[in-house]
Chain A
Amino acid sequence: MRKATCSVCGSEQPSGEMFALDGKPICAPCAEKLPAETKAAGEKLQLGRIMDPTICSVCATDHGDTQLPLIGGKPVCDSCAPGLYHRPFPLWLKAGLAVLLLLLGWSLWRSRHYFAAERHMVRGERAMDRHDYTRAANEFQQALLILPDTQKAALLGAKARFMAGDPDGAVRFFSQRSHWDHADALYKEVNGMFKSSVNAVRKARRAVTLDGQGQYDEAARLMTEAAKEYPQALNLAIASQVFNSRAAFYRKDYDASLAFAQAALDKSPGDPNLNASVAAALACKYALTGDAKFRDQAEQMLAKAQTLAQASPDDRAAFEDYSVRIRYRLQSREVLDKDEYDRRFPPKGAKR
């Protein structure tokens, strides 16, 4: 231990218990009187504790005359120094962290079905971004198989079905859940799509009824509205073109009829009935103009429709029905609608 003499009272004291004032040692009792004196003199007190380099600042062991090495400006003995560099973490901290990590591990293990469902959700959303709605709907269905009560999966599945033009499929997703969070923005969006599709289907049904009653222009107008209301529904878009083509035919506007029939075919080139509709419109053009180009095109389209119709018995039967009228039109250059044709040439077994 080192000793120093107080620069104020002259007493000798252990230097570790003294202070320094302007570089001079001062004992604790004298230092205590200083604040009042300096305050009265209007001076600023510059007081610091003197460090005894022979006393360890950690364990306070007196090492006699041996000056200890300084660590961070403080004297530290050899037995205390390693402890400063390897200060242990307290047991409660290590135990707490261990418990939390165990809890986290258990939670992750318990949540593995969430991860499995999320993988399908992510794949589904990616498929939505690619406009692959069928794949998306399948992925959301997979997510629902894992977590049946997931509103987001049910809504996205319904949305995917709506976007694919399959309102019935969308309703199947809706029916997988009995209660909904009506404040959810996605719920509002999909519910809006649902309402639009219901309106569109209602209009489409009315259009079909009017078409059956021979009100072709009104039927075409309603079907066009239905297609606009539910633009994702391909069948409505095609029906809209077909109905407009038919309305134009009855107005004897064969150019418009051909254009609408071609627009319908462009949306579904593999449909034999739509190929036949173009053939029928081309036959009208041939009947009107006598231009062999239209006849050749009509025959090509009819041959294509015949090939495509072989895939299903219904399509084959439909082809047998309309092909005779189109061929008659090409042969006679006389445009007859179905009723007039049937009146003149009654189908086998039909009463005149």
Chain B
Amino acid sequence: MFLIPSVVISVLTFPGVIVHQAAHLLCCRIARLAVFDVRYFRFGNPAGYVIHEATTDFKKIFLVAMGPFFLNSAFCVLFCSAAFLPLWEFRVADPLAYFFYWLGLSLGMHAFPSTQDLKGMWKLMPAEAGKFNLLAIASYPIVALVYVLNYAKFFWADLAYGLAIGILVPIAIFKALP
């Protein structure tokens, strides 16, 4: 296995870290949760963080924990799609396309919520699922999958995820062209 310190990976893919934290902040604002501190990027582990008010509202926890996953993934698809045609389909060496692919992959690699993000959800899920909260029930497979993927980061699962959505989704989008 090819090992690179996580700090180095964070530095190389810093836009993903920044957008991840910005997404947390945005979701906190939407969920009306107080934010005490934000670090968009730092040289260390974690590479960024948002310290916010705790809540027992499952919807809010879900939004704050999973928001970066959806936002980073969406931006990853957006930027990779812009670069997909010149790079993959028409094999044009366009520097801007390379830049967008790096940006997109950085965003995709940092889409996964951290285990810290998931812990709050995980704690509330059994009780909420017991109350037939559909979001909590639907969260089980998502959280389980993301937990596994988080641990699989050692095996470059984050890069694999970034590549998967950065390539497969644009393919699906362009194949659906009328």
Interface residues of A (CB under 8 A from B): 57-58, 71-74, 76, 81, 84-87, 89-90, 93, 100, 103-104, 107-108, 111, 114-115, 117-119, 121-122, 147, 150-152, 181
Interface 1/0 per residue, B54-86 and A, CB below 8 Å: 100000000000000000000000110010011
Interface residues of B (CB under 8 A from A): 18, 22, 25-26, 28-29, 32-36, 38, 40, 52-54, 78-79, 82, 85-86, 89-91, 96-97, 100, 103, 174-175, 177-178
Decide if A72 touches B89 in the complex (CB within 8 Å): no
Decide if A114 touches B89 in the complex (CB within 8 Å): yes
A73 to B51, CA, bound (A): 13
Closest-by-CB residue of A relative to B21 is A93
State which of B22, B35, B89 has its C-beta within 8 Å of the C-beta of A152.
Answer: B89
Decide if B177 touches A114 in the complex (CB within 8 Å): no
Decide if B91 touches A85 in the complex (CB within 8 Å): no
User: Mind listing 24 A-B residue pairs with CB under 8 Å?
Assistant: A72-B34, A72-B52, A72-B53, A73-B54, A84-B34, A85-B33, A85-B34, A87-B38, A89-B25, A90-B40, A100-B103, A104-B78, A104-B82, A104-B100, A111-B82, A111-B86, A114-B85, A115-B85, A115-B177, A118-B89, A121-B89, A150-B90, A152-B91, A181-B91
Decide if B174 touches A118 in the complex (CB within 8 Å): yes
State which of A76, A89, A114 has its C-beta within 8 Å of the C-beta of B86.
Answer: A114
Decide if A72 touches B36 in the complex (CB within 8 Å): yes
Chain A residues near B174: list those with CB within 8 A.
118, 122
Chain A residues near B33: list those with CB within 8 A.
85
Chain B residues near A103: list those with CB within 8 A.
96
Shortest beta-carbon distance from B102 to chain A in Å: 12
Instruction: Please judge, given known A-B contacts A87-B29, A119-B177, A150-B90, whether A93 and B40 are in contact too, CB under 8 Å.
Output: yes
Shortest beta-carbon distance from A260 to chain B in Å: 44
Chain A residues near B52: list those with CB within 8 A.
72
Closest-by-CB residue of A relative to B91 is A151
Closest-by-CB residue of A relative to B75 is A100
Known: A85-B34, A107-B97. 7 other contacts (CB 8 A): A72-B34, A72-B52, A72-B54, A118-B89, A150-B91, A152-B89, A152-B90
Chain A residues near B82: list those with CB within 8 A.
104, 107-108, 111
Decide if B96 touches A122 in the complex (CB within 8 Å): no
A95 to B25, CA, bound (A): 17
Closest-by-CB residue of A relative to B19 is A97
Decide if A117 touches B36 in the complex (CB within 8 Å): no
Chain B residues near A74: list those with CB within 8 A.
36
A89 to B40, CA, bound (A): 10
Chain A residues near B36: list those with CB within 8 A.
57-58, 72, 74, 84
Decide if A85 touches B25 in the complex (CB within 8 Å): no
Chain B residues near A111: list those with CB within 8 A.
82, 85-86
Chain B residues near A93: list those with CB within 8 A.
18, 22, 40
A236 to B178, CA, bound (A): 36
Chain B residues near A84: list those with CB within 8 A.
34-36, 53
Closest-by-CB residue of A relative to B32 is A85
Closest-by-CB residue of B relative to A125 is B175
Shortest beta-carbon distance from B60 to chain A in Å: 13
State which of A72, A118, A181 has its C-beta within 8 Å of the C-beta of B85.
Answer: A118
Chain A residues near B34: list those with CB within 8 A.
71-72, 76, 81, 84-85
Chain B residues near A57: list those with CB within 8 A.
36
Shortest beta-carbon distance from A75 to chain B in Å: 12
A24 to B107, CA, bound (A): 48
Shortest beta-carbon distance from A110 to chain B in Å: 8
Chain A residues near B54: list those with CB within 8 A.
72-73
The 4 closest A-B pairs by CB, nearest first: A72-B53, A84-B34, A114-B85, A87-B35
Chain B residues near A90: list those with CB within 8 A.
40
A147 to B90, CA, bound (A): 8
Chain B residues near A81: list those with CB within 8 A.
34
Chain B residues near A107: list those with CB within 8 A.
82, 96-97, 100
Residue in B33, B90, B100, B103 whose Cβ sees the most chain A Cβ within 10 Å: B90
Chain A residues near B85: list those with CB within 8 A.
111, 114-115, 117-118
Shortest beta-carbon distance from A21 to chain B in Å: 25
Closest-by-CB residue of B relative to A108 is B82
A254 to B78, CA, bound (A): 69
Decide if A114 touches B29 in the complex (CB within 8 Å): no
Chain A residues near B26: list those with CB within 8 A.
89
Closest-by-CB residue of B relative to A151 is B91
A248 to B90, CA, bound (A): 52
A107 to B54, CA, bound (A): 41
Chain A residues near B53: list those with CB within 8 A.
71-72, 84
Shortest beta-carbon distance from B13 to chain A in Å: 15
A114 to B18, CA, bound (A): 31
